[in-house]
């Protein structure tokens, strides 16, 4: 850990000054594409206005013999596609892989001015972030970049979860953290075989009535990810960075995907990954607060005046704490309205 005095000092001579606050433009969906897949990249100009973030994925889901094509494809896409105000992110290969060094050197040197955030997979602890932090500073200085690249960690190893607080605070570049349920399940030796979502075997059962153990006992499926998402949200909020739910692999099951995303939204996440075009609208719906919630929040703020004291609205007590929650909802709605004219209309009532 750097000394507090040096925390905001550039890590290489000539590297841009680190940011003191993480920008938080809407990032409801981080839409993954394989930059080596021409069918997917051909869709990017049409997709860009529909998503908040486009992410060129170089890691898992890209075959080993397509890694270089994906890297080259991302450079090409970044140089030729007009992304408008949509952010461009990338997911590099893992730090122990044979590809990551070339990923970082090529991307920062050739398109460092086009990229907003670099997602680092399989982060185990703060030393992984410190390594990337210093290397990025050296590459930024050499490329003459004026704006620091931000770093996003995937929480997908048991060590990463154990060290999530130190990861969140490891560098001023830390933009956010995503839950990676697939790798995390493998790292923890969980006995699931899915990419995110629940499992019917993970449940609680109501007590028996009398001696009959087998009938009339309702079961409730539980959320496998609750503990990790909640811990990640606290680590992020405590360090001024943004938490995200990651992938939901059952593309066909749009209903359960929406539930998983909504649980994350309600717990404090700002977005989730979309792996397929079908998941973009789900993320948009879930991570944009409902117009009725926004209208209610505005009503509470209005009734609370300077934000202190207590009032009753529709039989519900409101005070300093509930008005703060309402401000979170209204600030999000205002930021989304500035990006999306349809939402701007819906939020006006």
Residue 60 vs 319, nearer CB to ligand O=CC(=O)O: 60
Q: Binding ligand O=CC(=O)O by CB under 6 A: which of 137, 156, 260, 301?
A: 156
Residue 37 vs 192, nearer CB to ligand O=CC(=O)O: 192
Question: Candidates 31-39, 112-120, 215-223, 290-298 — which segment interacts with ligand ACO by CB under 6 A?
Answer: 31-39
Q: Binding ligand O=CC(=O)O by CB under 6 A: which of 154, 282, 304, 337?
A: 154
Q: φ and ψ at 114, to 5 degrees?
A: -100, -25
Considering only residues 176 through 195, tell me which ones interact with Mg ion, judged by CB under 5 A: 180, 183
Q: What Cα–Cα distance (Å) separates residue 266 from each residue in 112, 170, 260, 262?
A: 34, 26, 10, 6
Q: Are 281 and 288 in contact (CB under 8 A)?
A: no
Question: Candidates 15-23, 203-211, 272-280, 287-295 — which segment interacts with ligand ACO by CB under 6 A?
Answer: 272-280
Considering only residues 160 through 199, tell me which ones interact with ligand O=CC(=O)O, judged by CB under 6 A: 180-183, 195
DSSP bridge pairs for 287: none
Q: What is the DSSP string of 237-306?
A: HHTT-EEEE-----TT-HHHHHHHHHHHHHHT--EEEE-SGGGHHHHHHHHS--HHHHHHHHHHHHHTTT
Cα distance between residue 134 and residue 338, in whole Å: 35
Q: φ and ψ at 55, to 5 degrees?
A: -120, 120
- Which pair of tokens denotes residue 20? 């003191």
DSSP bridge pairs for 155: 179
Residue 70 vs 326, nearer CB to ligand ACO: 70
Cα distance between residue 195 and residue 251, in whole Å: 10
- Minimum CB separation of residue 261 from ligand O=CC(=O)O in Å reads 14
Q: Binding ligand ACO by CB under 6 A: which of 61, 162, 213, 303?
A: 61
- Minimum CB separation of residue 95 from Mg ion in Å reads 13
Please tell me whether residue 275 binds ligand ACO under the rule CB under 6 A: yes
**Cα dihedral: 197, 119, 17, 26 (round 10):** -50
Please tell me whether residue 60 binds ligand ACO under the rule CB under 6 A: yes
Please tell me whether residue 83 binds ligand ACO under the rule CB under 6 A: no
Considering only residues 80 through 139, tell me which ones interact with ligand O=CC(=O)O, judged by CB under 6 A: 121
Residue 160 vs 180, nearer CB to Mg ion: 180
Helices (H) and strands (E) in the chain, counts: 14, 12
- Minimum CB separation of residue 57 from ligand O=CC(=O)O in Å reads 9
Considering only residues 143 through 162, tell me which ones interact with Mg ion, judged by CB under 5 A: 156
- Minimum CB separation of residue 319 from Mg ion in Å reads 42
- 3-state DSSP: the chain helix, strand, coil percent, rounded to 5? 45, 15, 40
Please tell me whether residue 277 binds ligand ACO under the rule CB under 6 A: yes
Please tell me whether residue 56 binds ligand O=CC(=O)O under the rule CB under 6 A: no
Contacts 24+ apart (CB under 8 A), 327-333: 327/297, 327/301, 329/289, 329/293, 329/294, 329/297, 330/294, 330/297, 330/298, 330/301, 332/289, 333/288, 333/289, 333/294, 333/297
Residue 31 vs 322, nearer CB to ligand ACO: 31
Please tell me whether residue 124 binds Mg ion under the rule CB under 5 A: no
Please tell me whether residue 36 binds ligand O=CC(=O)O under the rule CB under 6 A: no
- Classify residue 252 by burial, with Cβ atoms within 10 Å: 0-12, 13-18, 19+: exposed
Q: Are 86 and 50 in contact (CB under 8 A)?
A: no
Residues found near ligand O=CC(=O)O in the complex (CB under 6 A): 60, 121, 154, 156, 180-183, 195, 246-247
Residues found near Mg ion in the complex (CB under 5 A): 156, 180, 183
Residues found near ligand ACO in the complex (CB under 6 A): 32-34, 39-40, 43, 57, 60-61, 182, 195, 247, 251, 275-277
């Amino acid at each position: 850990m750097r000394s507090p005095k040096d925390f905001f000092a550039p890590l290489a001579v000539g590297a841009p000054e680190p940011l003191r606050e993480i920008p938080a433009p809407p990032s409801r969906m981080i839409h993954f594409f394989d930059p080596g897949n021409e069918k997917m990249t051909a869709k990017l100009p049409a997709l860009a206005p529909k998503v908040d973030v486009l992410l060129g994925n170089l890691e898992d889901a890209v075959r080993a013999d397509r890694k270089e094509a994906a890297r080259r494809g991302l450079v090409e896409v970044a140089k030729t596609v007009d992304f408008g105000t949509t952010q461009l992110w990338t997911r590099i290969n893992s730090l122990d892989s044979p590809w990551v060094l070339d990923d970082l050197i090529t991307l920062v040197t050739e398109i460092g001015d086009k990229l907003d955030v670099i997602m680092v997979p399989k982060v185990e602890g703060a030393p992984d972030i410190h390594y990337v932090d210093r290397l990025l500073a050296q590459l930024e200085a050499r490329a003459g970049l004026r704006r620091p690249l931000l770093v996003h960690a995937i929480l997908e190893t048991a060590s990463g979860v154990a060290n999530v607080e130190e990861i969140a605070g490891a560098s001023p570049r830390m933009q956010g953290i995503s839950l990676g349920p697939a790798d995390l399940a493998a790292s923890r030796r969980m006995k699931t075989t899915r990419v995110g979502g629940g499992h019917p075997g993970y449940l609680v059962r109501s007590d028996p009535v009398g001696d009959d153990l087998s009938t009339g006992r309702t079961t409730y499926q539980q959320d496998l990810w609750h503990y990790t998402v909640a811990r990640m949200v606290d680590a992020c909020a405590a360090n001024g960075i943004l938490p995200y739910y990651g992938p939901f692999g059952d593309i066909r099951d749009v209903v359960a995907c929406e539930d998983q995303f909504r649980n994350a939204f309600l717990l404090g996440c700002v977005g989730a990954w979309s792996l397929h075009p079908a998941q973009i609208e789900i993320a948009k719906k879930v991570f944009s607060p409902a117009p009725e919630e926004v209208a209610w929040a505005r009503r509470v703020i209005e009734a609370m005046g300077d934000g202190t004291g207590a009032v009753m609205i529709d039989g519900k007590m409101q005070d300093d704490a509930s008005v703060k929650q309402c401000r979170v909802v209204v600030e999000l709605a205002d930021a989304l309205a500035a990006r999306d004219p349809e939402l701007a209309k819906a939020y006006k009532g």
